[in-house]
Structure 1
Amino acid sequence: MREFVFALEYEPGCNRVADALADHPDARIRSLSLHATDDRLWRVDHATGTSAALEDIEGAFLNGDYYADCLATDDCGATQTTRVLDRTDDTLVLYSTWERTPTCASVPHIARDHLGDGVLFETRHEGRHYTWRIVHSGVGDPAAFFDALEAAVGDCARMEMLRAATTEADAPTGDGTGGASGLAPEQEAALRAAVEHGYYESPREVDVGDLADHLDVPRSTLTYRLRRAEERLAKGYVADERFADAPSTPL
């Protein structure tokens, strides 16, 4: 089995969901279920945030010119429906279905074209970053998949590879990221720069805006990379601690 994790960073005005999330930095959307056939896609998403954020997210799904997952730059004539399954003050659960046309494109459909059937998808949306985790059998042509994806997103989004690895069952050692830290190169570079420039000192010697200017990346991109790096390192630390505290099994 193979795993790919990558992010699409949408330009303003290219994706209504990304625009809504950019207006509410603390809001998040993650997929609970996502499936695709050759001509259909259906998914359940769980959004968290303030009441105002959820209202904007709901509006982006319900009132968009075309389905939010479609990579076409104009209305491609697809039939889509989104329903609210649950709503509280700080959570929103949405069920969406989408029947594509020949001019439509999406990450799952491009993956099916180049990686075959039996592909699993997991997504997380925060700000303008739309992170995809894809697990597939290892057959197909990953290079052709990413070439087709890059062509489909065009100038609307920038693609950033975060991880490419075999799954644990197939990998004898390491996590396939190519770095000792287990971080994507962009995340490791961001973390090193943050440490070197005093971002983690107390009080901070540099703020995220100045650090982003130094690295010549958008502020939102740097914030995203640092958050993902911190998340991965924190989870790795806790996992190591649990392993160390686990009782040994006598031989």
Structure 2
Amino acid sequence: MRELVFALEYEPGCNEVADALAEHPDARVRSLSLHATADRLWRVDHAAGTPDALDAIADAFRDGDYYADCLATDDCGATQTTRVLDRTSDTLVLYSDWERTPACASVPHIARDHLGDGVLFETRHEGRHYTWRLIHSGEGDVAAFFDALRTAVGECARMEMLRTADTAASAGGSEGDRNGLAPEQEAALEAAVEHGYYESPREIDVGELAAHLGVPRSTLTYRLRRAEERLAKAHVAGEWTAEERLASR
């Protein structure tokens, strides 16, 4: 089995969920379940954020002229429904059902075309960054998948490859993927440390660091947050493992 992890960074006005999340930087959406056939797509998503952010996210998902996964830039004639399954003051669970037309394109359907049936999907959407994690058999044409995806995305989003590996190697980390970080995250973290971003007081802010690295501010923020999240989780997991070893003595 193979793992592919990549991100789409949407331009303003190209994806309503991305626009809503960009206006609410602390909000995020992650998939709980995602299934696709040749002409349908079903998914359940968990959103977290302020009440205003959740309202904006729900409106983006329920807009009749738009579907979160459709990559078509014009109305493709698809039909979709989104229902609220659960809501609290800071969380929202949405169920979406999309019936596509031949003019529609999406990551899951392009993946089915080039990677075969049985692909598993996991998504995370923060700001304009829409991260996809795919698990597939490894027998498909990955290069053709990314070529088709670039064509479908066009000028609406920039695509960034984060990781490709055997799932067994990915689970334990691999050579060139130190601490499980994607190379872009590793480079962002090293630059942040080198230029004093983590000093107190900071010697450089995220905007200045982004300009120095020649990447958008939102891209650098995203890479640092993902790197920090992975390292924090790895640290806590390591602490628990150490405690378990001590307890077993």
Q: TM-score range by the shorter chain?
A: over 0.9
Paired residue for 1:163?
163
SS at match of 1:246: helix
Alpha-carbon distance between aligned partners in 2 of 1:174 and 1:109, rounded to the nearest angstrom: 29
Alpha-carbon distance between aligned partners in 2 of 1:240 and 1:150, rounded to the nearest angstrom: 39
5+ residue gaps, structure 1: none
* Aligned sequence identity (%): 80
Following superposition, the deviation at residue 192 of structure 1 comes to 0.9
Alpha-carbon distance between aligned partners in 1 of 2:79 and 2:239, rounded to the nearest angstrom: 49
Contact 1:41/1:97 (<8 A) preserved: yes
Contact 2:121/2:134 (<8 A) preserved: yes
Following superposition, the deviation at residue 173 of structure 1 comes to 9.1
Alpha-carbon distance between aligned partners in 2 of 1:142 and 1:172, rounded to the nearest angstrom: 17
Distance of aligned partners of 1:201 and 1:2 in 2 relative to their CA distance in 1, 3 Å threshold = same
**Matching of residues 18-167 of structure 1 within 5 Å:** 18-167=18-167
Deviations 1:185-229, CA, capped at 9 Å, x for gaps: 211111111001100001111111111111111111100000011
Contact 1:16/1:64 (<8 A) preserved: no
Following superposition, the deviation at residue 165 of structure 1 comes to 1.2
Alpha-carbon distance between aligned partners in 1 of 2:75 and 2:170, rounded to the nearest angstrom: 46
Q: TM-score, normalised by structure 1?
A: 0.93
Alpha-carbon distance between aligned partners in 2 of 1:5 and 1:153, rounded to the nearest angstrom: 16
Alpha-carbon distance between aligned partners in 2 of 1:177 and 1:212, rounded to the nearest angstrom: 27
Distance of aligned partners of 1:237 and 1:39 in 2 relative to their CA distance in 1, 3 Å threshold = same
Contact 1:70/1:106 (<8 A) preserved: yes
Contact 2:170/2:180 (<8 A) preserved: no
Alpha-carbon distance between aligned partners in 1 of 2:67 and 2:101, rounded to the nearest angstrom: 12
Which one of 188, 194, 201 corresponds to residue 199 of structure 2?
201
Paired residue for 1:247?
245
SS at match of 1:102: coil
Alpha-carbon distance between aligned partners in 2 of 1:48 and 1:244, rounded to the nearest angstrom: 32
Q: TM-score, normalised by structure 2?
A: 0.94
Which one of 216, 223, 227 corresponds to residue 225 of structure 1?
223
5+ residue gaps, structure 2: none
Contact 1:166/1:176 (<8 A) preserved: no
Structure ranking higher in helix proportion: 2
Following superposition, the deviation at residue 93 of structure 1 comes to 0.9
May I ask how many residue pairs the two structures share in their alignment? 247
Following superposition, the deviation at residue 177 of structure 1 comes to 6.5
How much is the aligned-residue C-alpha RMSD, in angstroms?
1.7
